[in-house]
Amino acid sequence: MELSMTLDATTKAPIMSAKNVDVFYGAKQAIDDVSLDIAENQITAFIGPSGCGKSTFMRCLNRMNDTISSAKVTGDIRFAGQDIYSSKVDVVALRKRIGMVFQKANPFPKSIFDNVAYGPRIHDLAESKDHLEDIVVTSLKRAGLYDEVADRLDESGTGLSGGQQQRLCIARAIAVDPQIILMDEPCSALDPIATAKIEELMEQMKEDYTIVIVTHSMAQAARVSNKTAFFHLGKLIEFDETDTIFTNPANTLTQNYISGRIG
Amino acid sequence: MSQTAKTSVDLTLRESKRSTFYKELAIKTILMASSLVAILTTIGIVLSLSFEAFRFFTKIPLTDFLFGLEWSPQTAIRADQVGASGKFGVIPLLTGTLLISAIAMCVATPLGLYSAVYLSEYASKKTRNYVKPLLELLAGIPTVVYGFFAALVVAPIIRATGSGMGFEISSESALAAGMVMGIMLIPFISSLSDDVINAVPQALRDASLGMGATKAETIKQVVLPAATPGIMGSLLLAISRAIGETMIVVMAAGLAANLTINPFEAVTTMTVQIVTLLTGDQEFDSAKTLAAFAIALFLLVLTLGLNVIALKIVDRYKSKYA
Amino acid sequence: MPDYTLTTSKQLQRRHAAEKRFQWYGRIAIAISVSFLVFMFTAIIFRGAGAFQQTEIGLNVALEEQVIDPQGLRDAGDISRANYKPLIMDAMQDIFPDVSERREKNQLYRLLSSASVFELGERVAKNPDLIGTTQTLWLPASSEVDLYMKDKIDQDVPEELRRLKDRDIAWVETLRSQGLIKKSFNKNFFTNGDSREPVMAGILGAALGSFFSLMICFIIAFPLGILTAVYLEEYATKNKLTDLIEVNINNLAAVPSIVFGLLGLAIFLNFFELPRSTPLVGGMVLALMAMPTIIIASRSILRSVPQNIRDAALGLGASKTQTTFHHVVPLAMPGMLTGTILGMARALGETAPLLMIGMIAFIVDVPKGVTDVATALPVQIFLWADSPEKGFVERTSAAIIVLLAFLIVMNLTAVYLRRKLERRW
């Protein structure tokens, strides 16, 4: 048992793997032949200059690109071995497993409680009222927000500060108990203190979830992630352990970006 | 350059400046005067209605008008005649108006809202480009056409259906007028709601879809609640439109002032009574003719009140997401 | 072990079914709205198309001089006023020789429109050479015969409840078998004013009434509307007065149309004592109604003219007025014209305010100017719709078709103007 677990941690198949992924917006190619694996219970960061396709690629992972009618995705993306673009896959089920937190905090114009309860309600996860309350409180606690809002759960979520709103969105994502959480530049609109809080939170969340984060800040990637992928002009230039990428990148393009010469 | 030449240059400049100044002033005055026509129109409406209504209230007490439950505006030919003093209670007219408006809203609200939701959230651009103008066409058809259609086609159908099911339905039932009016109101609700729904930020939809909500769940539980104030505004505007609508009810609703909420019965409305009182023979000073102005004043206050509230709601909603 | 399933579960099936249902509600709502539109149009076209045709009966009329013009003076007035009834009855007698009783003869005569004697009189007066000859003349049939020929009489109704009796029908069938009854283009509908008799009623009077009203409406509303828009967009500074004007314009757009009619009645008719029932007053009332629409549309057009055009003109030393009227207004003109046409199209369909100022009277004469007593197209529709005569149902629908045709032409013109002339910035 002990042995198998250790073996598991090192040789286990990645929870998500992408092979030869291309994305087109109409005639324009946004992603060009990207292949990479995402390991379970780790933080994978996507970095690169703006417009490099890192967000576009991330939106392929839970098929959010489906909502843009001109977007076309080809290639092979697998979640736990299943082709997520297969016709058998239910996109609703997929997105329940792979949650998402957006660049700009987007709480619903509902109460804090209803914001977090939204997912469990639509997915019918709670067996009773008490259970639902339990889910909401646990999610808020995991998102490190509970202590700040415990006495005003019925107030509107839009009334919170920017950092609190983003943590509310994280709590909302956690509440449906996903396996992977995709974070699209979650701190770009936040001040350093709020950013630090969220980074700390990610470190804790890693134990239960797999996290993919798109970030504009190299420092953030260096601080929080285990692995880092560097994108440039729609291509994946380099993907390796974060330490390696930042100390000893193999590609000169990566080196130039890390050292601030491009971007 | 000599000294004199310099002065003359200065002078011409000043002169041309002066004539330009007067010209500009004159034009500005003309422009302002024409924009005052809008104010004059409002003043004209308010003054003419209140003046005549005031004369009406010297003959019939205001409380009799506002709270009276009976409406029979015939004036006496002989002083000792039965029912010599007409009854001028506005309540039956108000309930009739509200009954027909309520039926109209029952038709227009689901049709208009579902159309707006489908067009803004589901329809392809091509479908939208074809269907939207088609719906807006409904608002461009003169109401006299709706009235004719209601009286000639819809009312007999409703009557026949009713008697087939064992109901006695009046040929001038509130139902026929209300249903056709409802169709007319669809575009008022659908196009304003469409704007309002489109103004809901995409980020909210993404958040909901991103956690595995279906599109319908996203619309019902996130988009529509967020758009509610704007939608309420559009509904209020439609109600105000329904209350002031004249031709459909003149042609398809009745003249009898029944105090009822039964949609199968004939009711009359404020606008119908205004038309009835003021077309045909009229002596200008009789309570009967003056009553039309009192009703019109009442109608104006009602519709403008609804309109002001509706615009306030819509404005506040717009600034929320602007 | 975490759950990795991505396929559809029972619960998801239910949710997807709800999704499908929701989409269908939307489709059904649109389908109902659009099919109502189609239903209304087809019902009206179906009912109205017949009115563009009219039934005529062919008679060999001997135009005897001693009946028409016994003195031989050939005075057009006398000729048109002569008594043609016996001549027509004689011609009828020729076709139906076995009808001899007086009452039956009168019955036979009633197959023709009562206006056919006047029509015959006018034709002879126009062409006096016909007098003394025998001519095959096509005269308008009565409304009942017209309806019968258009299959619009329900023969299952018991005879005593029908105006057209079985014997009348037999006569009409005889005429039909002899080729003496036909349907031809209904010229009267387009050249006559109103009439109590459906077959003689036309829309020219109403159409001209509408035309004159719209002319007045345009003359007043167009300049006032665009000048107001120019003032509010280009000149006005934000102050209490400007706010008041804006609030007024927005509220006027929401005032029920009938209230404008009362304004016209109280101010234009009773206070200024302008002539009642005339396109002049009708046009003035419509202008006040159309103005908010025109102002609101024109303002948004003016707002879309880029600021740099104003800056360029002002920078060259043009005055505010020069900038506005030489550069901004000409650029905005096509758009403002489009808005005005749309506002006028609305005014064309308005009925209620015109009822209030008396444009509802029964008027046979075709108006010749803005101060002639007249009615308007939508009011004519209302009047005919109210008429108990069955023959008017068809004509009401036909008048609606004509009104809608005008509206479509105006709207298409507006669309064309917008496509062709309007600039995109």
Phi/psi at C245 (nearest 5 deg)? -60, -45
Neighbours of chain A (3+ CB pairs under 8 A): B, C
When pLDDT is cut at 50, 70 and 90, the band that residue B242 belongs to is very high
Nearest chain B residue to C18, by CA: B216
Contact call for A104 and B203, based on CB within 8 A: yes
Q: Give the nearest partner residue to A95 out of B212, B221, B222, using CB atoms.
A: B212
Residue C66, pLDDT score: 84
Residue B80 has pLDDT above 60, yes or no: no
C378 within 8 A of C403, measured Cβ to Cβ: yes
When pLDDT is cut at 50, 70 and 90, the band that residue A263 belongs to is low
Token couple for C271: 């206070």
Residue A9, pLDDT score: 43
Contact call for C12 and A94, based on CB within 8 A: no
| Percent of the residues in chain A that have a pLDDT greater than 90, as a whole number | 82
Instruction: Name the packing angle between helices A129-142 and A112-122 (round to 10°).
Output: 120
How many CB atoms are closer than 10 A to CB C232? 21
How many CB atoms are closer than 10 A to CB B264? 16
Place of tokens 């509706």: B310
State the average pLDDT over residues B201-230.
Answer: 93
Please report, for residues A36, A75, A237, A238, the alpha-carbon distance to residue A249 in angstroms, rounded to integers and kept in the order given: 17, 27, 10, 8
Phi/psi at A218 (nearest 5 deg)? -65, -35
Domain positions in chain C: 52-186, 204-421
Place of tokens 């890192």: A54
Token couple for B164: 């087939």
Residue A2, pLDDT score: 41
A209 within 8 A of A181, measured Cβ to Cβ: yes
Q: Give the nearest partner residue to C2 out of A90, A123, A179, using CB atoms.
A: A179
Contact call for C44 and B145, based on CB within 8 A: yes
Please list the ranges in chain C whose pLDDT falls under 50.
none
* Set of chain B residues whose Cβ sits within 8 Å of the Cβ of A102: 203, 206-207, 210
Q: Which of residues 56-95 of A touch C (CB under 8 A)?
A: 79-82, 84, 88-90, 92-94
C147 within 8 A of C21, measured Cβ to Cβ: no
State the average pLDDT over residues B99-109.
Answer: 97
Contact call for A102 and B213, based on CB within 8 A: no
Q: A106-145: per-residue pLDDT in tens?
A: 999 999 999 999 999 999 999 999 999 999 999 999 899 9
Nearest chain A residue to C5, by CA: A93
pLDDT-wise least confident of B113-122, B263-272, B313-322: B313-322
Q: Give the nearest partner residue to C6 out of A94, A122, A123, using CB atoms.
A: A94
Residue A164 has pLDDT above 50, yes or no: yes
* Set of chain A residues whose Cβ sits within 8 Å of the Cβ of C7: 88-90, 93
Q: Which residue, among C3, C6, C22, would best test binding to A if mutated, counting the most A CBs under 10 Å from its CB?
A: C6
* Set of chain B residues whose Cβ sits within 8 Å of the Cβ of C29: 110-115, 118
Phi/psi at C7 (nearest 5 deg)? -85, 170
Nearest chain C residue to A62, by CA: C6
pLDDT-wise least confident of A191-205, B208-222, C124-138: C124-138
Strand ranges inside C130-254, DSSP E:
134-140, 181-185
* Set of chain C residues whose Cβ sits within 8 Å of the Cβ of A80: 4
When pLDDT is cut at 50, 70 and 90, the band that residue B85 belongs to is low
Domain positions in chain B: 3-59, 87-321
When pLDDT is cut at 50, 70 and 90, the band that residue A7 belongs to is very low
Token couple for B145: 């056409």
The span from the CA of A38 to the CA of C344, in Å, is 65
Query: What value, to the nearest 5°, has the Cα angle with vertex B311 and ends B306 and B317?
Result: 130
When pLDDT is cut at 50, 70 and 90, the band that residue A8 belongs to is very low
Helices assigned H by DSSP within chain A: 2-11, 54-61, 91-97, 112-122, 129-142, 146-149, 162-174, 192-205, 218-224, 242-247, 252-258
* Set of chain B residues whose Cβ sits within 8 Å of the Cβ of A120: none
A23 within 8 A of A227, measured Cβ to Cβ: no
Beta bridge partners of A100: A182
* Set of chain C residues whose Cβ sits within 8 Å of the Cβ of A88: 6-7
C400 within 8 A of B251, measured Cβ to Cβ: no
Q: Which of residues 158-177 of B touch C (CB under 8 A)?
A: none
- What is the least distance, in Å, from the CA of C1 to any CA of chain B? 21
- In DSSP notation, B178-230 reads HHHHHHHHHHHHHHHHHHHHHTS-HHHHHHHHHTT--HHHHIIIIIHHHHHHH
Residue A5, pLDDT score: 40
- What is the least distance, in Å, from the CA of A80 to any CA of chain C? 7
Token couple for A29: 């190619």
Q: Give the nearest partner residue to B247 out of C27, C28, C382, using CB atoms.
A: C382
Strand ranges inside A12-129, DSSP E:
16-25, 28-38, 43-47, 71-79, 82-83, 98-101
Is C271's Cβ below 8 Å from some Cβ in A? no
**What would the CATH number be for the domain defined by C204-421?**
1.10.3720.10
Amino acid at site B282: Q
Is A162's Cβ below 8 Å from some Cβ in B? no
Neighbours of chain C (3+ CB pairs under 8 A): A, B
Token couple for C140: 């308008």
Residue B92 has pLDDT above 80, yes or no: yes
C295 within 8 A of C388, measured Cβ to Cβ: no
Contact call for B214 and C16, based on CB within 8 A: yes
Contacts of A216 (CB under 8 A, 6+ apart): A47, A50, A185, A188
Q: Which of residues 11-40 of C touch A (CB under 8 A)?
A: 11-12, 15-16
When pLDDT is cut at 50, 70 and 90, the band that residue A50 belongs to is confident
How many CB atoms are closer than 10 A to CB C369? 11
Q: Give the nearest partner residue to B211 out of A104, A109, A176, using CB atoms.
A: A176
Q: C73-91: per-residue pLDDT in tens?
A: 888 888 888 888 888 888 8
Inter-chain contacts counted by CB atoms under 8 A, chains B and C = 241
State the average pLDDT over residues B175-194.
Answer: 94
CATH class given for the domain over B87-321: mainly alpha
Residue A248 has pLDDT above 60, yes or no: yes
Contact call for C4 and A97, based on CB within 8 A: yes
C132 within 8 A of C64, measured Cβ to Cβ: yes
The span from the CA of A26 to the CA of A71, in Å, is 6
Residue A75 has pLDDT above 90, yes or no: yes
Contact call for B206 and A173, based on CB within 8 A: no
Amino acid at site C191: T
Q: Which residue, among B205, B211, B228, would best test binding to A if mutated, counting the most A CBs under 10 Å from its CB?
A: B211
- What is the least distance, in Å, from the CA of B82 to any CA of chain C? 30
Q: Give the nearest partner residue to A96 out of B201, B208, B212, using CB atoms.
A: B212
- What is the least distance, in Å, from the CA of A153 to any CA of chain C? 28
Residue B11, pLDDT score: 53
How many CB atoms are closer than 10 A to CB C111? 22
C275 within 8 A of C371, measured Cβ to Cβ: yes
Residues A113-122: b if buried by 16+ CB within 10 A, e if exposed: bbbbbbbbbb
Is B278's Cβ below 8 Å from some Cβ in C? yes
Q: Which of residues 327-386 of C touch B (CB under 8 A)?
A: 345-346, 348-352, 355-356, 360, 378-379, 381-382, 385-386
A99 within 8 A of A173, measured Cβ to Cβ: yes
Residue B245, pLDDT score: 95
- In DSSP notation, C85-98 reads HHHHHHHHHHH-TT
Residue B174, pLDDT score: 92
Residue A3, pLDDT score: 40
Measured distance between the N- and C-terminal CA atoms of chain C, rounded to whole angstroms: 60
Comparing C-alpha atoms, which of A47, A59, A34, A51 is closest to residue A253? A47
Comparing C-alpha atoms, which of A131, A193, A129, A134 is closest to residue A167? A193
Residue B14, pLDDT score: 57
- What is the least distance, in Å, from the CA of B208 to any CA of chain A? 8
The span from the CA of C186 to the CA of C152, in Å, is 17
* Set of chain B residues whose Cβ sits within 8 Å of the Cβ of C352: 143, 246-247, 250, 271, 275
The span from the CA of B230 to the CA of B311, in Å, is 9
Residue B25, pLDDT score: 87
Place of tokens 């001899």: C100
Contact call for A89 and C2, based on CB within 8 A: no
Q: Specify the DSSP class assigned to residue A158.
A: G
The span from the CA of C378 to the CA of B141, in Å, is 11
Q: Give the nearest partner residue to A90 out of C2, C4, C6, using CB atoms.
A: C6
Beta bridge partners of C58: C138
State the average pLDDT over residues A241-251.
Answer: 93
State the average pLDDT over residues B128-137.
Answer: 91
The span from the CA of B198 to the CA of B128, in Å, is 13
Strands A43-47 and A210-214: parallel
Comparing C-alpha atoms, which of C62, C194, C190 is closest to residue C120? C62
Q: Give the nearest partner residue to B206 out of A64, A172, A173, using CB atoms.
A: A64
